[in-house]
Structure 1
């Protein structure tokens, strides 16, 4: 389990992912990202609205293209971290992801969960995105399955989104539905988004 900041229910989401993915034999490395912004961009599978997810600190090397070799540590921006510290940044590898967020509404726990793909963009596009935000921080470029930008923001209750990879699209679907059922059994109100 990996996270950098405290956000409503992020640790709960991370624990559910780690335990369920471990039981299913899927990757357990998960992290939260800030849901920043997005734009229409070309990638290997076509052209879509591609979100930029970024977190102010570190992401698991298993999420980065080339793992540890594709990761680097940079000094945190003094504006946000005046006493220093380093990041562990990289650009997320392409692959099937499950995204989720757990939040409190009207005194009850809710989970939004859905599918997507982390995609690689051109070097120029990735550089422009890094330069347009905080290049010291790790980033994921993601297409969310069946969820428009406006739909995503209409239900966005926190600044963060939890992400985890799966070995395949079929595995990701299985893990998503299993986690949705687990959350429901634990008393959460679950919304499967866009699938």
Structure 2
């Protein structure tokens, strides 16, 4: 795939102003290195959103802002880089990436201090779940080593005793059902971490969506002894 110039760049950040300001230097360094690399291949990078002089960072910091950034691209088939040197909220860019028709490349730093890699793994997981491709290749394909994967049928058989316990638990779930409390499902844009309800329902498990504010309220009105007993 031959990539035209310029290549546009977006950077998803945190939703918290202080976090974005603190981490901006690391992001700026990553983008400078990325620019240098692309220039060596005779390509230029253009930011799809500018540095904000008031906020003192250049991150996309809300879902609405991300939608606007993608709407303002010259077209929906331009080559695009999502560059991350920090922890990021995936929903800031996921909406735009779902309809982007051009090639998408995700790039992150490798730092123990600035978790760009962690943020990128979360975004890539969301993209994978949404069936969005995010690799550039001149030709061929990337084949990942999956030799460590085994079929469930090849795994060691469990004892009849444990199998009977499992069957009883499964039968109980299907008959009496179970409620799984979920706090802030998909928070920080983690679309990849959401287990679809229709899959859980087949197992007899149903979600009760809870809020952290409700949890905090109950914590103030519940004695420690009662909480420990539960």
Q: TM-score band, normalised by the shorter chain?
A: under 0.3
The TM-score normalised by the length of structure 1 is: 0.26
As a proportion of its length, which structure holds more strand?
1
The TM-score normalised by the length of structure 2 is: 0.23
As a proportion of its length, which structure holds more helix?
2
